[in-house]
Amino acid sequence: SPPALGNRSQAVNIATYGDLGVDGLLGTLINGVCLFERALRALQQILPSVDFFLHHGDICYADDTPLLLFGKPYEEAMDDCQRAMMKITSTRFYMTAVLTYSKITSKPS
């Protein structure tokens, strides 16, 4: 539970980060192997001391290219990523903000 409004005796610890990619093909060339897994382990290590996560977009790089990168459609790539994130997202407040790429890769309505 969050502290009562105006209660300054209990700190709320917020972790903010962005660009949680799983782009194995390009990511391996640029950032090294298993970028997503390394990032996920880092988030899980700080989990006990964080009350709220604010994720600044680039959610798992499940944009318009997962079929090429993962051999699966967009929805399945996103499902895999979200399953991996469940330990964090099911136990802490978690909010995702839209990043520019979300606008660029979105299909027009």
Strands (E), the chain: 14-20, 52-59, 93-97
What are the tens digits of pLDDT across the range 14-48? 999 877 765 555 556 666 666 777 888 899 999 99
19-47 CB burial, b ≥16 within 10 A, e <16: ebbbbeeebeeeeeeebbeebbeebeeee
d(CA 93, CA 58): 18
Q: What is the dihedral of CA 99, 15, 80, 65, to 10 degrees?
A: 20
d(CA 36, CA 20): 6
| For the chain, domain boundaries | 14-100
- Give 107 or 19, the one with higher predicted confidence: 19
Mean per-residue pLDDT, 90-106: 72
Is the pLDDT score of 8 beyond 60?
Answer: yes
CB 46 within 8 A of CB 15: yes
pLDDT of res. 19 = 73
What are the tens digits of pLDDT across the range 50-97? 999 998 877 776 555 555 555 667 677 778 888 888 999 999 999 988
pLDDT of res. 75 = 74
For the whole prediction, is pTM greater than 0.85?
no
Instruction: Report CA torsion sign: 85, 65, 21, 62.
Output: negative
